[in-house]
Chain A
Amino acid sequence: MNAFQQRRWPLVILWVLIIAAIVAAPSVLPVFRLNLLGRFLALAIVALGIDLIWGFTGLLSLGQGIFFALGGYAAAMYLQLNSSGDLLNGIPEFFTLYGVDRLPAFWQPFHSPWFTLVAIWLIPGLLAGLLGNLVFRNRVKGVYFSILTQAALLVFFNFFNGQQKLINGTNGLKTDVTQLFGQMVGSAEMQRGFFWVTAVMVILMWLLVRWVVRGRFGDVLIAIRDDEPRLRFAGYNPTLFKTLVFAIAGSLAGIGGALYTVQSGIVSPQFMTVPFSIEMVIWVAVGGRGTLVGAILGAVAINYAKSLVSEALPQSWLFIQGGLFILVVTALPEGVIGWFRGEGPRNLMSRLGFSRPIGTYPQLEVDGNDEVQP
């Protein structure tokens, strides 16, 4: 029995607890808290994408907010169009403020719900693929990649913030007063529905990412993270894999953004601010990069902590958040889940005086002998 199997049961218990919490939440929590939990679960989908590119492939993107917001805008545009059929000219109300009387061309396809459902993940995915390919094919990587994604984020923020006549600029698009299936999107019933959709999506996306990282594809990703030149010399083309995985992460961010938007009631350029996108990274870092449960738990836990602390002591959240960044990277580089999976508990036990015999070196020798024997 190896170490991994030995420590499998805590993870199973964790999953049982998570699913029990999700199932129980709608009947236990008040609507406001339930809505918050639903939003945080939507953010967990984004965190899964970041874990995929950062934890497994070693690409630190500081610009996931772009794809998050694009998914949100796609959903909001459909909802706006869907509920403005009986309005003047059949276009959303805010256009008239800027003297626009014809729908801009790129809004047209969003009349269709099916197109929107595809656009929510396809547009962010395609954009991420395109941006990623332009950067990766020149072997730009590491810190360069990070600051390029951050610059891209700022650029998209500027664009969306400045274009009142196209997408209502800095005010964003509201969704909570729009109609879907003949109901208000902001109503309690709809919100409960969205919570369920989000919860199911988190699990589905978790299975998807798990499938991606468990197979041979995942092996290549980990190889890119650990030694990219060596992988290239072995005959693989890292650019292709990196582009693909960045596109997947972009799609996940888009899905998360759409689900977040319908639950928060608005999408605005604020989704593309620099601090928010870096915050996304810290969810994964705290939970444990390279562990998918860690990404989900990190996103939910940090956001819950944020909402609680901001309600009680609004001044101190930035201090806590800043301290968290420093603490996690210096003291807990594997994150909480990674700490439990690795040598963390054993080190703590031995430091407290409950040390158990460690069998590292003899075990290694046994392994070596195994290889020698025919």
Chain B
Amino acid sequence: MQLLLESLFNGVAIGSVLMMAALGLAIVFGLMGVINLAHGELMMLGAYTTYVVQMVFKLPAFQSIYGLYVLVAIPLAFVVSGVVGILLERTVIRRLYGSPLETLLATWGVSLILQQFVRSVPLAHAAGLILALVLGFGLPLVLPHRFFEGARARINRAITWAMSALGGVLLAGVLASQISRIARATSRNVDVTAPKWMRGGIEWMDITFPVPRLVIIVMTIVAVVGVTWFLNRSVWGMRIRAVTQNRSMSDCLGIPTDTVDVLTFGIGSGLAGVAGVAVSLLGSVGPNVGGSYIVGCFMVVVLGGVGNLLGTVLASFAIGLLTDLIGAGRLLTIWPDMPSPLAGTVTFFATTSMAQVLVFALIVVFLQFRPAGLFPQKGRMVEA
């Protein structure tokens, strides 16, 4: 019983990281039919954001509230990854609408560039660049509209961008001068240390629950509830669902599908950033950190079907639980006197990588019965 609970907890913890990462991927895929191969790199950006925030909070000025850095990192990671995602949508994906395979390749190119970017650009400078982008795109939304209309519109726009660039340069300069560890480019992995309140574990019924994992589970619950609320209750959520179901009809009825695309891509990418915060709490952060999660996310999307949050949730838990059950060899601990040929097989698969082999095989078998995933979309557009 105790073993079972522990196994269940670990499975849920693995599943929740997967879910947060896959959530964004699934929303974007449902809406635009686009698989974003740079999704893992957006996660990586979120993880690096956590690292930079942590370094900032280590400065003497912020020492007293060091423990709260995770809470600051979560929204920041959302914004950083979201802005990069929006930039990606505006510049590349927009041009490739209607050709998903080409989009796949283009986003792979973006992921290569992002990986090399964090290797060869100092984190402080990267932070400045991102601040400039956020301000440049964000200010026109915040400032009054008439500022960007009329005769002086172009000048005002230029001024806004100049100010944003200045802000970025200032931030980069301050960060680089204050924190020496992010002033130079490095391709080495960095470590995010959890604050004091997140170390250790909570004991309950003779089982220790590690606090970081609990925090991740809570984060996931908040993210899922938030996304569900947004999609089902808010006006823009309704528009997103409408475009997902029928793009041309929504367009006819006056829904700005362009804006919906940007918004969705931004939210999907932002969720990847939050997932990155979770990833950084579990292990060290490097340029390749996204790659190890991305294929799991694809499996979740394939298994869960498109356009259904419940499918994503169930699929990620199923994959998380199975990977943990098989990979950690828990089947043997739960059922110690297994007949020997079966036990041999179980030990053969009892590593994380071999567990992935088995889970993939199971998914292929599953697809033989339910080709469109757990919750296939109903309707007449079967071949679309």
Contacts and interface: CB of A to CB of B under 8 A. Distances in A.
Contacts of A161: 353
- Which residue among B92, B95, B357, B363 has the maximum number of chain A CB atoms within 10 Å of its CB? B357
A226 to B, nearest CB: 13
A60 B35 CA distance: 13
Contacts of B301: 147
A154 B111 CA distance: 18
A316 B371 CA distance: 42
Contact of B116 (A315, A325, A328): A315
Given A155-B357, A322-B116, A326-B92, A147 B110 contact: no
Interface residues of A, number: 46
Contacts of A179: none
Given A146-B35, A148-B302, A161-B353, A138 B371 contact: yes
B360 to A, nearest CB: 4
A152 interface: yes
B371 A139 contact: yes
A143 B116 contact: no
A254 B96 CA distance: 33
Contacts of A330: 92, 95-96, 106
Given A134-B368, A162-B351, A329 B110 contact: no
B298 A151 contact: yes
Interface residues on B, range: 35 or more
Interface string B115-144: 110011000000000000000000000000
A281 B96 CA distance: 17
A142 interface: yes
A138 B106 contact: no
A60 B356 contact: no
Nearest to B363: A151
A285 interface: yes
A323 B109 contact: yes
Interface stretch (B97-105, B172-180, B191-199, B241-249): B97-105
Interface in A16-73: 54, 58, 60, 62
Contacts of A361: none
Contacts of B153: none
A140 B368 CA distance: 10
B354 A60 contact: no
A333 interface: yes
A152 B360 contact: yes
B104 A143 contact: yes
Nearest to B95: A330
A75 to B, nearest CB: 24
A190 interface: no
Interface in A130-170: 134-135, 138-140, 142-144, 146-148, 150-152, 154-155, 158-159, 161-162
B295 interface: yes
B106 A329 contact: yes
A278 interface: yes
A282 B105 contact: yes
Interface in A268-318: 274-275, 278, 281-282, 285, 315-316, 318
Contacts of A150: 295, 298
B33 interface: yes
Given A151-B298, A155-B360, A161-B353, A281 B116 contact: no
A143 B100 contact: yes
Contact of B302 (A62, A147, A154, A281): A147
A144 B364 CA distance: 12
B360 A321 contact: no
A151 B294 CA distance: 10
A152 B35 CA distance: 17
Contacts of B115: 318
B110 A322 contact: yes
A324 interface: yes
B67 interface: no
Contacts of A281: 105
Nearest to A144: B302
B106 A155 contact: no
Contact of A146 (B104, B109, B112, B113): B104
25 contacts: A60-B101, A134-B364, A135-B364, A138-B367, A138-B371, A143-B35, A143-B100, A146-B104, A147-B298, A154-B356, A154-B360, A158-B356, A161-B353, A278-B108, A285-B105, A315-B120, A319-B113, A319-B116, A322-B109, A322-B110, A325-B109, A326-B106, A326-B110, A329-B103, A329-B105
Interface of A: 54, 58, 60, 62, 134-135, 138-140, 142-144, 146-148, 150-152, 154-155, 158-159, 161-162, 228-229, 274-275, 278, 281-282, 285, 315-316, 318-319, 321-326, 328-330, 333
In order of increasing CB-CB distance, the 5 nearest A-B pairs are: A325-B109, A138-B371, A322-B112, A322-B113, A158-B353
Given A151-B295, A329-B106, 12 more contacts: A142-B101, A143-B29, A146-B35, A146-B101, A150-B295, A151-B298, A318-B116, A322-B111, A322-B116, A325-B110, A325-B112, A329-B103
